[in-house]
Amino acid sequence: MIDKLFPRIQKYTEAEGSFTLPEKPVILFHKDDEGKIFKIITAFKQELFDRTGVDCYPVPNYPGKLNVSLELCHSGDLEGEKYVIEVTEDKITVLYGEPVAAFRAKETLIQMIGLGGGKIPAGRYEDWPDIARRGFMLDISRAKVPKIEKLFRLVDIMAALKMNELQLYLETYVYEYQAYPQHAHIAEALTPYEILKLSSYAKERYIDLVPNQNSFGHLYAWLKLPEFIDLRVEDKDSCGSINPIDPRSLDFIENLYSSLLPCFTSRYLNVGCDEVWGLRNGKTKEKADKVGTIGVYLDYLDEVCKKAEEHGRRPQFWADILLNHKDEPDVIKRVSKNMIPLAWNYDGSNEDFEKNGALLASLGFDFYICPGTSSWTAMFPDLKNSCTNVLKGAEAAVKHGARGLLMTEWGDFGHIQFDFAMQLGLVYAASVAWNLEGNRDFDLAAAYADRAIYKCEKGSVSEIIRRGADLYDTHYFWTYHRKFTENGDPRHDGTFNYDHYLKIKLGMQDIIESVKSLKLTSDDAQLLCDELTASAELYIFMTEFMLLRLEYAENKAIEGFDGRLETFLSEYERVKAEVKRCWNARNKEFDNDCMFRLMQKGIDNMIATVRGEIPDEAKK
Run of H or E residues at 592: none
Measured CA to CA, the distance from residue 262 to residue 525 in angstroms comes to 37
Nearer to other proteins, 48 or 538 (CB): 48
Of the ranges 53-61, 151-159, 374-382, 490-498, which one interacts with other proteins (CB under 8 A)? 53-61
Measured CA to CA, the distance from residue 122 to residue 18 in angstroms comes to 5
- Map residues 277-316 to x or -, x wherever contact with other proteins holds by CB under 8 A: ----------------------------------------
Among 43, 186, 196, 527, binds other proteins (CB under 8 A): 196
Is the torsion defined by CA of 406, 407, 408, 409 positive or negative? Answer: negative
Least gap, CB of 266 to other proteins (angstroms): 11
* Residues 6 or more apart whose Cβ sits within 8 Å of residue 37: 29, 30, 31, 72, 99, 102
- Map residues 123-162 to x or -, x wherever contact with other proteins holds by CB under 8 A: ----------------------------------------
In 10 A of CB 452, how many CB atoms?
Answer: 17
Residue 26 CA: distances (Å) to CA of 20, 95, 102:
13, 17, 17
Of the ranges 103-111, 176-184, 279-287, 472-480, which one interacts with other proteins (CB under 8 A)? 176-184
Least gap, CB of 251 to other proteins (angstroms): 13
* Residues 6 or more apart whose Cβ sits within 8 Å of residue 190: 140, 145, 148, 168, 174, 175, 176
Nearer to other proteins, 195 or 575 (CB): 195
Answer yes or no whether residue 460 interacts with other proteins by CB under 8 A: no
Among 80, 99, 121, 192, binds other proteins (CB under 8 A): 192
Nearer to other proteins, 64 or 560 (CB): 64
Answer yes or no whether residue 49 interacts with other proteins by CB under 8 A: no
Answer yes or no whether residue 265 interacts with other proteins by CB under 8 A: yes
Answer yes or no whether residue 329 interacts with other proteins by CB under 8 A: no
Of the ranges 36-44, 413-421, 468-476, 589-597, which one interacts with other proteins (CB under 8 A)? 36-44
Cis amide linkage into residue 7, ω under 30° from 0? yes
Among 4, 36, 124, 197, binds other proteins (CB under 8 A): 197
Nearer to other proteins, 200 or 238 (CB): 200
Per DSSP, 242 falls in state B
* Residues 6 or more apart whose Cβ sits within 8 Å of residue 221: 141, 171, 172, 173
Nearer to other proteins, 64 or 226 (CB): 64
Phi, psi of 231 (to 5 degrees): -85, -5
Least gap, CB of 66 to other proteins (angstroms): 5
Task: Tell which positions 54-113 bind other proteins, by CB under 8 A.
Answer: 57-66
Nearer to other proteins, 42 or 338 (CB): 42
Measured CA to CA, the distance from residue 157 to residue 163 in angstroms comes to 9
- Map residues 203-232 to x or -, x wherever contact with other proteins holds by CB under 8 A: x-----------------------------
Nearer to other proteins, 44 or 125 (CB): 44
Cα 521-524-526 angle, rounded to 5 deg: 85
Size of the site for other proteins (CB under 8 A): 35
Of the ranges 111-119, 142-150, 178-186, 268-276, which one interacts with other proteins (CB under 8 A)? 178-186
- Helical segments of 485-593, H only: 498-516, 525-555, 561-586
Nearer to other proteins, 226 or 615 (CB): 226
Beta-sheet strands, E only, within 371-481: 404-409, 456-458
Measured CA to CA, the distance from residue 580 to residue 583 in angstroms comes to 5
Answer yes or no whether residue 179 interacts with other proteins by CB under 8 A: yes
Answer yes or no whether residue 250 interacts with other proteins by CB under 8 A: no
Taking only Cα atoms into account, the Rg of the chain, rounded to an integer number of angstroms, comes to 26
Nearer to other proteins, 200 or 350 (CB): 200
3-state secondary structure of 312: coil
Least gap, CB of 303 to other proteins (angstroms): 20
Of the ranges 118-126, 190-198, 532-540, 548-556, which one interacts with other proteins (CB under 8 A)? 190-198
If DSSP states are collapsed to H, E and C, what string results for 21-43?
A: CCCCCEEEECCCCCCHHHHHHHH
Measured CA to CA, the distance from residue 112 to residue 95 in angstroms comes to 16
- Map residues 572-601 to x or -, x wherever contact with other proteins holds by CB under 8 A: ------------------------------
Measured CA to CA, the distance from residue 519 to residue 609 in angstroms comes to 45
Q: Which of 78, 141, 86 is nearest to 108 (CA)?
A: 86
Answer yes or no whether residue 191 interacts with other proteins by CB under 8 A: yes
Measured CA to CA, the distance from residue 117 to residue 108 in angstroms comes to 14
Tell me, what amino acid is at 436? L
Among 11, 31, 503, 516, binds other proteins (CB under 8 A): 31
Answer yes or no whether residue 42 interacts with other proteins by CB under 8 A: yes
3-state secondary structure of 212: strand
Least gap, CB of 310 to other proteins (angstroms): 13
Q: What number of CA atoms fall less than 13 Å from residue 248's CA on the CB side? A: 10
3-state secondary structure of 341: strand
Of the ranges 216-224, 253-261, 358-366, 544-552, which one interacts with other proteins (CB under 8 A)? 253-261
Answer yes or no whether residue 262 interacts with other proteins by CB under 8 A: yes
Nearer to other proteins, 208 or 489 (CB): 208
Tell me, what amino acid is at 514? S
Phi, psi of 77 (to 5 degrees): -80, -15
Nearer to other proteins, 61 or 362 (CB): 61
Of the ranges 41-49, 234-242, 384-392, 558-566, which one interacts with other proteins (CB under 8 A)? 41-49
Q: Which of 102, 128, 123, 124 is nearest to 44 (CA)?
A: 102
Phi, psi of 352 (to 5 degrees): -60, -40
Answer yes or no whether residue 36 interacts with other proteins by CB under 8 A: no
Answer yes or no whether residue 568 interacts with other proteins by CB under 8 A: no
Binding site for other proteins (CB under 8 A): 31, 35, 38, 41-42, 45, 57-66, 177-182, 191-193, 196-197, 200, 203, 255, 258-259, 262-263, 265
